[in-house]
Amino acid sequence: MCTFVPDGLEWRYVRAMSDVVSHYAGAGNLAAAIHDALTNAGVAVDGISTIALAPVDEFHVRGRAATLEIAEALAVDADSSVLDIGSGLGGPARTLAEVIGCRVTGIDLTPEFCATAAVLSEWTGLGDRTRFVVGDATALEFADDSFDAATTVHVAMNIADKAAMYREARRVLKPAGRFVVYDVLQGPGGDVYFPVPWAHDASTSHLATTEQMRGLLADAGFSVVSETDSSHESREWFTAMAARIAESGPPPVTFAAFLGSDFAQMARNQVANLNEDRIRTVTFVCQ
């Protein structure tokens, strides 16, 4: 994190990052809240599967299915070390560790997320292959060439200085390492309806367009191997989720655990933003 300097650029940066942390931090003691919700629903937490946790820890559009696509795109194996930038509650990190067998380091700005992610990894038996540290995506505290691959999932929407984020990702990657970016981007349909899952208002929302993303990644030293717009699949995912909830009710624990009472409105706005092409979901596979 930057040093606190009153009335300076760094002060404004710290204030903005503090607002992001506050958005996600919830009421605190998130692991206990998740534990209680699951046990009250008759779900044992010890040895719980990553699939069972996905409704709360795969905090991105298309959930676990998107993470499995990322796992394939990373082109790594069980001997690889992977960095998850903006790891949240650790769902993608655990899925990668589980399906590939690799070691995954997650970094996130929100201390409560990192603490909870470590607990969830213990529940799933993946504590030996995942670790989570508090840090700043624009100033990674890792040495050059530290990781075989890296990913970031629905993170840059909260980061104004994307150029620094992608430069840092390039710096800590080994030569020829892959970087898979799956994010929500600005669509041509107009301004975003707020609140949304990543921001209550525009002050902490920093969406790039697809064209801007291409330039940012190239400037950071990456070549784009593939680019996939999954907006149509995202709309279908939300439709299928609504149908499941209407038929069977919601899962025992959801993103509302840390987004609070605004989550329902955030979800409705997310769907409206997608349907009106105000946002898009796009994956860039880079090397």
pTM of the full predicted structure? 0.91
**Domain covering 28-286 in this structure, CATH number:** 3.40.50.150
Output the pLDDT for position 20: 67
d(CA 269, CA 31): 27
Which residues contact residue 167 at a Cβ distance below 8 angstroms, ignoring those fewer than 6 apart?
220, 221
* Whether the Cβ atoms of residue 131 and residue 167 lie closer than 8 Å to each other: no
Which residues contact residue 163 at a Cβ distance below 8 angstroms, ignoring those fewer than 6 apart?
216, 219, 220
d(CA 200, CA 229): 25
Per-residue pLDDT for the chain (287 aa), expressed as one digit of tens each? 333 334 444 444 444 556 666 667 655 689 999 999 999 999 999 999 999 999 999 999 999 999 999 999 999 999 999 999 999 999 999 999 999 999 999 999 999 999 999 999 999 999 999 999 999 999 999 999 999 999 999 999 999 999 999 999 999 999 999 999 999 999 999 999 999 999 999 999 999 999 999 999 999 999 999 999 999 999 999 999 899 989 999 999 998 888 888 888 999 999 999 999 999 999 999 99
Question: What are the boundaries of each domain within the chain?
Answer: 28-286
Output the pLDDT for position 14: 46
Which residues contact residue 17 at a Cβ distance below 8 angstroms, ignoring those fewer than 6 apart?
1, 109, 136
Determine how β-strand 103-108 pairs with β-strand 130-134.
parallel
